Chains A and B, each alone.
Chain A
């Protein structure tokens, strides 16, 4: 898939932007807080259906306005179509495809790296769980409901454990938790098995090193040895007493850790900044590779401020990766990076105070 053009009105600091686009590498260059990231956010929202920063619709609408309109002309498998989303203050998003109201949408293949993604390599376990859950959700719409149900049952159970009452009902929620939790873990594992080789490959392409990057799924409070369901069932029984004492659920996918290993080193604890950044980038590149592999079409790549923190060698390798993409959008504040990419054939746009112009 790729964007043929985009028009934004009243989106964040863009009053009115109209931009013809096309395949290839597109570099958005400018100072901080001029709108580079906002532009990528708009592309992400148009394709995936939500903001990568989980912003509320109200924050996305230009201050003082009642609605924002984002439109895109897209090509997917040689089919041209238009997608539009209207954000209304205090209302629901309205989606249109070729002018017609679109109730059920399939997310379009697009993956974005944003500086916040560094937390995937060095942040709390929840960041990594969310990464995997969001990736699974992209491929299987049912997963969102499953996860929602799991979290709902967990909240009910924790509430009763904390209050210390309704033993019978806690047991019921325990049963549901095991059934739903097993499905959640199975889906994550299924995804990670597919994802792992792509990740290792992506990391190698960026780092150039020989140290393989591996993924380890660590179950917390239960064992995966005899199967997910069996492990969860065992934990449900063995932890019962302790759970009542501590007033919370002590096992299950909401506590699991997904860790990355460089050789034998755990990335979160022992990797350098440059390595962590490379891991975070590789995670998004691999996410994209999986989407492409499953959907059998190219995905759009967004890289927000991806170069700082990488050494020259890695910077060079990353730009090479970018030039093999169908369509990629990059942002940078560094002029020489922009010119370097332009020399290699990228289109450079200057972003200044909510305006975007070719240079």
Chain B
């Protein structure tokens, strides 16, 4: 416990400092602000958090954030259901939306890393293969983060998908290596989408 803080305040500080990107100093600043925040503001935040907790789940089809069984994107009939963009995490979708992508998505909820205990059956790869068959998908765009794991996952998928009658393209190459899809600006991403390259895989051989 921090020297001199009442226990309830200390608890809030510790809880806040567990959030990503928030260090102990910022956690303190936020907590002090919340303590004397104008009436209604704290209640609104509490309500919003409780609401989110209750309502938000992952879309049963694509894995994006949703308040219903299917997310807004999956329900939107004007979108091209034959083009599927595969991403690592739901938050990656926002950047692609800003870049003007008009197809559908598939969130893997992770990338392959056998050492960390993540094999193909632990991320949503089986669901992806099923969707490709059921939704008559014609093109799969692999938009994974340009990390070693992201690349391995993309190559693995390309290899798996070579058994299906789909065109497989890769966009992460256009992004700076080590960069993050979530923070890519829309111009870069739009260019990457535009210039996506088809990868043909024959027995683990990558032709770029």
Query: Does B206 interact with chain A (Cβ within 8 Å)?
Result: yes
- Chain A proximity of B101: nearest CB distance (Å): 26
Give Cα A169–Cα B151 distance, bound, in whole angstroms. Answer: 12
A145 CA / B113 CA spacing, docked (Å): 18
- Say yes or no: B204 contacts A175, CB within 8 Å: yes
Binds A, one of B8-16, B41-49, B155-163: B155-163
B158 to chain A: closest residue by CB = A172
Distance in angstroms between the alpha carbons of A102 and B206 in the assembled complex: 41
B159 touches A168 (CB 8 A): yes
Say whether A174 contacts B120, CB under 8 Å.
no
Partner of B156 from the list A145, A163, A168 (CB cut-off 8 Å) is A168
Is A169 a contact of B203 with CB atoms below 8 Å?
no
Instruction: Evaluate whether A176 and B155 lie within 8 angstroms (CB atoms) in the complex, with A166-B119, A166-B120, A171-B203 already known.
Output: yes
- In the bound complex, how far is the Cα of B114 from the Cα of A159, in angstroms? 7
Q: Which of A149, A156, A175, A176 contacts B114 (CB 8 A)?
A: A156
Q: Are A176 and B148 in contact (CB under 8 A)?
A: yes
- How many residues of chain B are within 8 Å of chain A by beta carbon? 18
Is A160 in contact with chain B by the CB < 8 A criterion?
yes
Taking a contact as CB atoms under 8 Å apart, the answer to whether A176 and B115 are in contact is no
Bound form: Cα–Cα A176–B159 in Å: 14
- A273 interfacial contact with B, CB 8 Å: no
Interface residue? A216 (CB, 8 A) = no
Q: Does A155 contact B (CB under 8 A)?
A: yes
Known: A168-B204, A169-B152, A171-B204. Contact between A156 and B159, CB under 8 A? no
Nearest B residue to A149, CB-CB: B148
A348 at the interface (CB under 8 A from B): no
Task: Please tell me if A270 contacts chain B, counting CB pairs below 8 Å.
Answer: no
Query: Complex Cα distance A173/B159, Å?
Result: 12
Contacts A152-B148, A176-B151, A176-B152 given: A169-B206 contact, CB under 8 Å? no
Is B168 part of the binding interface, using a Cβ–Cβ cutoff of 8 Å?
no
Residues of chain A contacted by B160 (CB below 8 angstroms): 168
A-B contact count (CB 8 A): 45
Per the 8 Å Cβ criterion, residues 171-195 of A in contact with B are 171-176
B115 touches A172 (CB 8 A): no
Assembly CA distance A84 to B13 (angstroms): 32
CA distance A175 to B206 in the complex (A): 8
A159 CB, nearest partner CB in chain B, Å? 5
User: Are the C-beta atoms of B120 and A156 separated by less than 8 Å?
Assistant: no
Asked if A153 is at the interface of the complex by the 8 Å CB criterion, the answer is: yes
Residue B112 is within 8 A (CB to CB) of chain A in the complex = yes
Q: Contacts of B203 on A, CB cut-off 8 Å? A: 171
- Inter-subunit contact B120/A172 (CB<8 Å): no
Instruction: Enumerate chain A residues within 8 angstroms of B178, measured Cβ to Cβ.
Output: 145
Kindly identify which residue among A163, A169, A171, A174 contacts B112, using a CB–CB cutoff of 8 Å.
A169
Question: Across the interface, do B114 and A172 meet the contact criterion of CB distance under 8 Å?
Answer: no
Query: Out of B119, B120, B152, B206, which one reaches A173, CB within 8 Å?
Result: B152
* Residues 73-130 of B at the A interface (beta carbon under 8 Å): 112-115, 119-120
The 8 Å CB contact of B152, one of A153, A155, A159, is: A153
Complex Cα spacing A176 to B112, Å: 14
Name the B residues within 8 Å of A145 (CB-CB).
178
Q: Is the CB of B151 within 8 A of A174?
A: no
Using Cβ atoms and an 8 Å threshold, which residues of chain A touch B152? 153, 156, 169, 172-173, 176
Q: State which of B148, B156, B205 has its C-beta within 8 Å of the C-beta of A169.
A: B156
**How long is the Cα–Cα vector from A40 to B119 in the complex, in angstroms?**
47
CB nearest to A174 among chain B residues:
B204
Q: Complex formed: what's the CA distance from A169 to B120 in Å?
A: 9
Contacts of B159 in A (CB 8 A): 168, 171-172
- Chain A residues with CB below 8 A from B119, complex form: 166, 169
Give chain A residues whose Cβ lies under 8 Å from the Cβ of B151.
176
Bound CA–CA A173/B112 (angstroms)? 11
Give min CB distance, A284 to chain B, whole Å: 32
Contacts of A175 in B (CB 8 A): 155, 204-206
Per-residue CB proximity of B190-206 to A under 8 Å, as 1/0? 00000000000001111
Complex: how many Å from CA A69 to CA B174?
43
Question: Separation in Å of the A75 CB from the closest CB of chain B?
Answer: 35
Chain A residues with CB under 8 Å of B155's CB are 172, 175-176
List chain A residues, Cβ under 8 A from B156. 168-169, 172
Contacts of A168 in B (CB 8 A): 156, 159-160, 204
For B119, the closest partner residue in chain A by CB is A166
Residues of A103-161 contacting chain B, CB below 8 A = 145, 149, 152-153, 155-156, 159-160
How far apart are the CA atoms of A145 and B206 in the complex, in Å?
A: 23
A155 to B148, CA, bound (A): 12
Could you jot down 13 A-B contacts, CB within 8 Å? A153-B152, A159-B115, A160-B114, A166-B114, A166-B120, A168-B159, A168-B160, A168-B204, A169-B119, A173-B152, A175-B205, A176-B152, A176-B155
Q: Which 4 A-B pairs have the closest CB atoms?
A: A171-B204, A172-B155, A172-B156, A149-B148
Further pairs besides A176-B151, A176-B152: 7, Cβ < 8 Å: A145-B178, A153-B152, A156-B113, A169-B120, A172-B204, A175-B204, A176-B155
